[in-house]
Amino acid sequence: MNLGTKTLLFGVHQVFIHPVLVTAAWVKLYRSFPTWREMICIVIHDWGYWGRPNLKDADGDRHPERGAEIAGKLLGPEWRDFILGHSSFYTIRHGVKQSKLFAPDKYWHCMIPLWVYKALSVPTEEFKHYRELKHARQVAEPHESDAEWWAKLQRACYGKIAGTFEIDRRKLAN
């Protein structure tokens, strides 16, 4: 089974747990519950990971397209863009505007402790995958502890939300 399918069935993007975490982040950030259309998009926004061998590469970065296609057909074109706009790398590569889903999709990382993240990501090998990234997305050095890596990842998420996290756009093709 490939990593994309594992993440949706058992891991960080698990189809029941991830939407709950993103919804909790939404409520924390926006002080209101998502509308029913926003909730549908929260549930389906990462379904495009299904069948993908990697989560963070040029192919994995196209994961918003599947949920966006579904949302576009069910809810209309603005909801297609709503899902496309949740991904940092999709918005950069394709010039799509960040949507209201962008911040909660990053902020949930800042709301949970490392042990919860590891409980979801170690069995699926996502933790190892994220730690071994060797391009523009790497937020920690290989010698750093898991706790140091997690703290840097959380700071990067805060930076993405604030618009202060710099991504080397030249390395995004890797």
Q: What is the mean pLDDT of residues 102-112?
A: 95
pLDDT score, position 172: 44
- Give the CA-trace dihedral at 112, 49, 82, 155, to 10 degrees: 30
Structure confidence by residue, pLDDT tens digits, 40-70: 999 999 999 999 998 877 788 899 999 999 9
Query: CB of 136 within 8 A of CB of 174?
Result: yes
Regarding predicted confidence, which is higher, 172 or 148? 148
Q: pLDDT tens digits for 23-39?
A: 999 999 999 999 999 99
Dist CA 100 CA 77 (whole Å): 15
| Helices of type H across the chain | 3-9, 17-30, 36-44, 64-75, 77-84, 88-94, 102-111, 114-121, 126-131, 146-162
Specify the pLDDT at position 134. Answer: 56
Query: What is the CB-side half-sphere exposure of residue 157 using CA atoms within 13 A?
Result: 19
The structure's pTM equals 0.89
**139 pLDDT band (50/70/90 cuts)?**
low
Average pLDDT, the chain: 89
User: CA–CA separation, 71 vs 73, rounded Å?
Assistant: 5
Kindly report, residue by residue over 140-164, the tens digit of the pLDDT.
Answer: 677 889 999 899 889 888 888 887 7
